[in-house]
Structure 1
Amino acid sequence: MLQNLPDVVAGALRAQRAGTDQLACTLVERPGELSAIELSSPAFADDAALPTEYTADGAGRSPPLQWRGVPAGTVSLVLIVEDADAPTPQPLVHAIAVDLPVHDGGLDEGALGGANDPVTDGVTTGRNSYLQTRWLPPDPPPGDGKHRYHFQLFALAAGAKFSSKPVHDEVLDALRHYAIASGRLIGTYERAEGA
């Protein structure tokens, strides 16, 4: 994917960044109104490098996730994974999962699918930025610096409804109206120049 960009195109894109102000958590969170969910992964620490196996340079599976602190009144959970450092006007959406079970728990490795893996039964995925209903493995351009992948989990109150394969704007609209709690975990990944 992006690792195959011609050098002149990759160079022109280095100055472009989507930015954190366009992330779902920034657009949805209302200071003091959303409670916190603890989101973590047994595969990587917050703000640490994603293991290669979860990227386009490895098997491309989605990483395992765990969460705690889902508040009372939650009727569904939504996960959105976005790249704030994508060389695009908006963050690149790597995964959307809606209607996740409303209890402390998590997702197993590969649950969101991947390059060669199906989505786990019972997980409803929305469309990523490439319009696929699966995990889009991190694939930053070589020499583009460290990209931050924001795993964002939201607890929703009653009333949110989603189509069978929701897109980012549909999910964002539901989050603006029904989100009651959120959590975030950041994994990073970068490729060296010429990689």
Structure 2
Amino acid sequence: MAQAPDHAPDHSGEALVIQKVQPFGEGQIVLTTPSLDADGRLEDRHSAYHENRSPPLVWTPVEHVAAYAIVVEDPDAPREHPFVHWLIWNIPGEATSLPEGLPNEASLGLIGGATQGVNGAGKIGWFGPRPPPGHGLHRYHFQIFALAERLTFGPNVPLETLVSALKGDTLAEGLLVATYEAPESQ
């Protein structure tokens, strides 16, 4: 019988949410942010080393969508599962963007009652990149899902339950990958 390793892996071995969800529609969502530099690096103010502000996001609309969900994961985290940086769902179907610096609150009235879930740090809302010093460049997968129906979950729903709902309700999806590396002075 093989023994479990006594150290964390260099990178997560589990698939990202977007790899587990197969949309039943044919559309593709183009997701962008003005907060990337020319090399695809996320600006410092969005990092947990700095201001920890959620980045602004913009996406192409999908017809007949009831709501959008966004999941941000870091598969380069030195742990078994990708680190979840953000879970937000029930973004209104007519929306095509999110502003920068959303409050870390479960219910966002200013975003049509969107719900933010618990991130990998155990808090509600955005938790910006904070790769371990010396661990190198990490990739942050901003995954967006266009949903046929709004989700009925509260903020404490486990990621696995959210993924199961996405599998049955996703019309289209999109992906944006940003990078970030720990500042040398940390």
Q: Same fold (TM over 0.5)?
A: yes
Contact 1:112 1:123 in 2 (8 A): no
| Residue of structure 1 equivalent to 2:115 | 124
* Post-superposition offset of 1:43: 1.3
- Whole-angstrom CA distance in 1 between matches of 2:83 and 2:146: 22
* Matched residues, number: 177
When residues 164 and 141 of structure 1 are mapped into structure 2, their CA distance, relative to the original with a 3 A threshold, is closer
- Whole-angstrom CA distance in 2 between matches of 1:112 and 1:29: 31
Which runs of structure 2 are paired with 1:37-48 in the superposition (5 Å)?
Answer: 37-44=29-36, 48=40
Scaled by the length of structure 2, what TM-score is found?
0.83
* Post-superposition offset of 1:60: 0.7
Structure 2 runs not aligned, ≥5 long: 1-6
- Whole-angstrom CA distance in 2 between matches of 1:106 and 1:25: 19
Contact 1:36 1:69 in 2 (8 A): no
- Whole-angstrom CA distance in 2 between matches of 1:176 and 1:45: 33
* Post-superposition offset of 1:45: 5.7
1:109 is matched with which residue: 88, 96, 100?
Answer: 100
Contact 1:112 1:125 in 2 (8 A): no
Which runs of structure 2 are paired with 1:1-195 in the superposition (5 Å)?
Answer: 13=8, 15-19=9-13, 22-29=15-22, 34-44=26-36, 48-70=40-62, 72-111=63-102, 113=104, 120-121=108-109, 122-158=113-149, 160-191=151-182, 195=186
When residues 44 and 120 of structure 1 are mapped into structure 2, their CA distance, relative to the original with a 3 A threshold, is farther
- Whole-angstrom CA distance in 1 between matches of 2:67 and 2:174: 14
**After TM superposition, what 4+ stretches of structure 1 lie above 6 angstroms from structure 2?**
none
* Post-superposition offset of 1:112: 5.2
When residues 46 and 179 of structure 1 are mapped into structure 2, their CA distance, relative to the original with a 3 A threshold, is farther
* Post-superposition offset of 1:104: 4.4
